[in-house]
Amino acid sequence: MISLKGFIRRFLSDPVAIAAGFVLLLLILMAVLAPLIAPQNPYDLMQLDIMDSEMPPVWREGGDPRFLLGTDAQGRGVLSTIMYGTGISLMIGIGAVIVQGVLGTTLGLIAGYKGGWIDAFLMRLADIQMSLSTLMIAIIVLAIFQAGFDANTYADYAIIMLIFIIGIAEWPKFARTVRSSVLGEKNKEYVDAARVIGLPARKIMVTHILPNTLTPVLVISTIQVAEAIMTEAALSFLGLGMPTDRPSLGSLIRSGFEFIFSGSWWITLYPAIVLVVLILALNLLGDWLRDVLNPKLRRGDD
């Protein structure tokens, strides 16, 4: 581990990290402040006018100064939907990683500390789940939900469901990381000492071992947020994620895709750029964090 001061110094000496951090901060601010700064509220049907639909960006012929990046088929300003959509994508990405982190860390701690059949069972489960792939599990579960509930119920619970499905599907990554650090820690003297003075297993796991496994958890979290946002975008693009009236970046791309053939490329292009920039910034920050905090940890077989 390095000190906070050293950490900040490393950050300020790396132009890539500064750029990625700056872009990420900008996107987060844009998403959080969307209700205040967006030129239009895309959820408010009163503000939408079908006459405004499919307008090109303002610098093209036929553009309207009210809509900087043009409008989509429902007359929503592309810039405003991107601002709100980035927020939804970030919320799902961060929420899913919190679920993954809590679930994965708990199960990883138990598997590593207890060992034996619990460990064998959990790791076998993790293997099978990983090879089924997150996206496949999520597609099937969401397909069943969507077929089972009517569209309105589905739309109400879409965010929560996406958070939990992506969270539960990805727990093995955290569990494996935590388990391997626990295996490294559990035979050290301080753990033996804690055991000798008769502390219960739960207390040893939580107050003694857990703090020493948190660095790698922090490192993979950043990259996992990027992965979760990518998964959510793919699901929404398939029509299994966020509904088009509360769009994430993925559902914006989905609703724009139909209009690529008629030449309205801006409905797809701008959300796509924001999505790629967001993922790239998170990935670059994640890679940087890994190099600084734990040079031995490599981004493995994902």
Partner 1 sequence: MHIIAFLIRRAVQAVIVMFVISLIGFSIQDNLGDPLRELVGQSVSEEVRNEMRQEMGLNDPFLVQYSRFIGKAVQGDLGTSYFFKRPALDVIMDKFPATFELVLGAVFIFLSLSIPAGIYCAIHRDSWLTRIIMSFSILGISIPVFLTAIGMVWLFGVELGWLPAFGRGQTVELPWGWDTGFLTWEGIRHLILPSIALSSIMLPLFIRLIRAEMMEAMGTDYVRFARAKGLPERRVRYVHAFRNTLLPVVTVGGLMVGTLIAYTILTETVFQWPGMGFMFLEAVNRVDTPLIIAYIIVVGLIFVVVNTLVDFLYTLINPMVKLPGAKA
Cβ nearer to partner 1, comparing 7 with 265: 265
Structure tokens at 27: 């996107």
Within 13 Å of residue 180, how many CA atoms lie on the same side as its CB?
10
Going from the C-alpha of 123 to that of each of 112, 180, 251, the distances in angstroms are 10, 11, 34
Going from the C-alpha of 33 to that of each of 25, 87, 150, 160, 268, the distances in angstroms are 12, 9, 32, 22, 23
CA dist 6 and 12 (Å) reads 10
Give the shortest CB-267-to-partner 1 separation in angstroms.
11
Give the shortest CB-86-to-partner 1 separation in angstroms.
15
Which residues contact partner 1 (rule: CB under 8 A)? 124, 128, 130-133, 135-136, 139-140, 143-144, 146-148, 226, 230, 233-234, 237-240, 253, 257, 260-261, 263, 265, 268, 272, 275-276, 279-280, 283, 301
Give the shortest CB-136-to-partner 1 separation in angstroms.
4
Q: Residue 301 corresponds to which amino acid?
A: D
Cβ nearer to partner 1, comparing 140 with 193: 140
Cβ nearer to partner 1, comparing 58 with 139: 139
Give the shortest CB-282-to-partner 1 separation in angstroms.
9
Cβ nearer to partner 1, comparing 28 with 238: 238
CA dist 292 and 153 (Å) reads 45
Cβ nearer to partner 1, comparing 7 with 164: 164
Strand partners, 71: 77
- Angle, helices 151-169/78-114, rounded to nearest 10 degrees: 40
CA dist 178 and 296 (Å) reads 15
Cβ nearer to partner 1, comparing 7 with 149: 149
Q: What are the residues whose beta carbons fall under 8 Å from the beta carbon of 161, sequence distance 6 or more?
A: 142, 145
Give the shortest CB-232-to-partner 1 separation in angstroms.
10
Give the shortest CB-143-to-partner 1 separation in angstroms.
4
Give the shortest CB-263-to-partner 1 separation in angstroms.
8
CA dist 244 and 236 (Å) reads 9
Q: Of 59, 83, 93, whose CA–CA distance to 270 is shortest?
A: 83
Cβ nearer to partner 1, comparing 31 with 278: 278
